[in-house]
Amino acid sequence: MQADDHRVLIVGCGNIAGGFDAARNADAEPLTHAGAFVREPGFRLVACVDPDEDRRSAFQRRWKVEEAFADVASLGDRTGAFDVISICSPTGMHGGHLEAALALRPRLVFCEKPVTPSLAETRHWVERFEQAGIHLAVNHTRRWAPDVARLRVELQSGKWGSVRSAHGTYGKGVLNNGSHLIDLLQFLLGPLRLVGAGAPLWDFWETDPTVPALLAAGEVPVQLAVSNARDYSLFEAHLVTERGVISMEDGGLAWRIRHPVPSPHFSGYTGLDRGVDLPGEYRQAMRSAAINIRECLRTGAPLHSTGRTAADAQRLCEQISAAAAQSVSGNR
């Protein structure tokens, strides 16, 4: 530990705060905020907040956090006491916790997604943070996965030729999970616009249905297909390009790349080979997020995922939900 380590406060001590890493080996790549800050040099976990006493004390012990509090009000006047504040509480509480974080004057807030349940509220906080000169990073995790970042460069450099179309599958809510897919596709392909949405499927959240949609990135058609979260988790994206098909599977834990080959069955036709399976680098994303945060604080390096990029994804989520609701009422 160094005197100039960035002091971190974590609000909400559940799964994404540290729970997913609680039983994982110290040398495993971290999947959580605490796991990443503990493994990367330059950070010190100085405080955590959770009203659930068991969770709070287990978290404090597991991650050796210096102080623990039942709520943000109990932090008292600790203005300037934290460099980084992670907001890992339930989404409905993010607004209140962003307000409390602003008053504490950190240099950076690392907020879980969705930033808030509504685009209007998210935009409000994005603007408040910009006015206050406090960085706002949002955990759209795949922006920090090294293989996703490389793919973006490859697409931009023309290595894959033209992108013909993209399609992805998600479940468990257009805002809660669809936002990850939309954000990923906007990161890779540029801004998306909504063409149309299908019927909503209420597979998990009462207020956030899973909705199929047709979008476009410039001239490139982009389809969002749905799975049902009650069956299993499915999160995939496929890019159909001039020079092959790039498939992200298992949420980014695996990739499959297929290249064009002469068809062994139909003379004169070109098909795709069976492809190569590659391990994904999703597991490196949280560590890479911590590195990006450290570089942002030390050198002013840009954050890969911000309040602005998250609001851009949330805008489409709301448009898709609204279009789905309209199609349902139109069918009555």
Ligand X SMILES: NC(=O)c1ccc[n+]([C@@H]2O[C@H](COP(=O)([O-])OP(=O)(O)OC[C@H]3O[C@@H](n4cnc5c(N)ncnc54)[C@H](O)[C@@H]3O)[C@@H](O)[C@H]2O)c1
Work out whether 324 is an interface residue with ligand X (CB under 6 A).
Answer: no
CA gap 203, 162 in Å, rounded: 35
Interface residues for ligand X in 148-177 (CB under 6 A)? 176
Per CB under 6 A, does 50 bind ligand X? yes
Alpha carbon 201 to its chain centroid, in Å, reads: 22
Q: Which amino acid is at 276?
A: V
CA 207 to chain CA mean position, Å: 20
We find the least distance from the C-beta atom of residue 154 to ligand X, in angstroms, to be: 24
Q: Number of residues in contact with ligand X, rule: CB under 6 A? A: 24
14 is an interface residue for ligand X by CB under 6 A: yes
DSSP 204: S
Selected binder of ligand X within 51, 161, 262, 271 (CB under 6 A): 51
Strand partners, 187: none
Q: Rule CB under 6 A: say whether 12 interacts with ligand X.
A: yes
Is 60 among the residues that bind ligand X (CB under 6 A)? no
31 is an interface residue for ligand X by CB under 6 A: no
Is 88 a binding residue for ligand X by CB under 6 A? The answer is yes
Q: Which residues contact 42 (CB under 8 A, 6 or more apart)?
A: 2, 5, 6, 294, 298
Q: How far is the CB of 55 from ligand X (least distance, A)?
A: 4
Pick the stretch among 83-91, 118-126, 153-161, 292-300 that binds ligand X (CB under 6 A).
Answer: 83-91
User: How far is Cα 135 from Cα 123, in angstroms, rounded to an integer?
Assistant: 14
The verdict on 89 binding ligand X (CB under 6 A) reads yes
Binding to ligand X (CB under 6 A) within 109-148 occurs at 112-113, 139, 141
**DSSP label at residue 74:** G
Alpha carbon distances (Å) from 233 to 189, 228, 321: 24, 8, 21
The two beta strands, 220-226 and 276-279, are unpaired
Stretch that binds ligand X, among 84-92, 101-109, 153-161, 317-325 (CB under 6 A): 84-92
Rounded Cα distance between 99 and 138, Å, is 16
Nearer to ligand X (CB atom), residue 19 or residue 212? 19
Task: Please tell me the distance from the alpha carbon of residue 24 to that of residue 21, in angstroms, as a whole number.
Answer: 5
> Which of 16, 98, 109, 317 is in the footprint of ligand X by CB under 6 A?
16
Closer residue to ligand X in complex, CB, 101/220: 101
Cβ-contact 113, 98 below 8 angstroms: no
Where do contacts with ligand X occur on this chain (CB under 6 A)? Answer: 11-17, 19, 49-52, 55, 71, 88-91, 93, 112-113, 139, 141, 176
